[in-house]
Amino acid sequence: MIETLLGSELDAATAHHARGRYPRVSHVQANLIALPFQSRSIAACVSLQVIEHIWDPVTYLRELARCTAGPVIISTPNRPVHSPGLARGKRPENPFHVREFDALELVELLATADSGRTPVLYGVRHGQRLRAWENESRSLPQALIEEPDASDVAAVAGTVAVDDFTIEVIEIDTIDIDTIDIDTINADEAGLDVHDLVAVW
């Protein structure tokens, strides 16, 4: 049984908003790369779509691993799909993202942060309804960045639900790194054409 749900946010205004929006969650205003928690004091940690906003992702991951006794769940956009052609380490077009990652890079980053934890990597794909819309129109994530107020984009985005996605294991061990150009990895190679990456670490 979960005794306490705890959220951490650096920005005071955002933390205040979160306290009002999620009253069942206790909120701590803190720097994510210097968390004010004792080692192994947290049962499990969930970090959804955060790491791509962090200037020092290795320190962030080390802090999550230090504080967490159980699993750490990390999700992030898959760079080859969200930013096609963007090489490793280059600044994404999305102004709120510091860096985006491909599957192999995320696994390498996790190993650098804590080699004692072994991640299981998953990929999230759009389900049949979203794929059909994108086949007739355009990439929904790209459309949300470029024209979020367009009526067709707003109409489909406003109805997205959990059933609009599928999730599958990515078998990292079966990927032959020597056959992949790591700087410009093609999303279609090795089954890495997923929208988002999720690591259970």
For the chain, domains (ranges, CATH) are 31-200 (3.40.50)
pLDDT of residue 40: 96
Work out the average pLDDT over 12-39.
Answer: 90
pLDDT of residue 142: 78
Q: Is the pLDDT of residue 180 over 60?
A: no
Work out the average pLDDT over 34-58.
Answer: 95
Mean pLDDT of the chain: 87
Work out the average pLDDT over 62-90.
Answer: 92
Q: Is the pLDDT of residue 115 over 60?
A: yes
> What's the chain look like in SS3?
CCCCCEEEECCHHHHHHHHHHCCCCEEEECCCCCCCCCCCCECCEEEECCHHHCCCHHHHHHHHHHHECCCEEEEEEEHHHHCCCCCCCCCCCCCCCCCCECHHHHHHHHHHHCCCCCCEEEEEEECHHHHHHHHHCCCHHHHHHHCCCCHHHHHHHCCCCHHHEEEEECCHHHCCHHHCCCCCCCCCHHHCCCCEEEEEC
Share of the chain above pLDDT 70, in %: 90
Q: Is the pLDDT of residue 74 over 70?
A: yes
Q: Is the pLDDT of residue 47 over 60?
A: yes
* pLDDT class of 85 with cuts at 50, 70, 90: confident
Which is more confident, 138 or 110?
A: 110
Q: Is the pLDDT of residue 190 over 50?
A: no
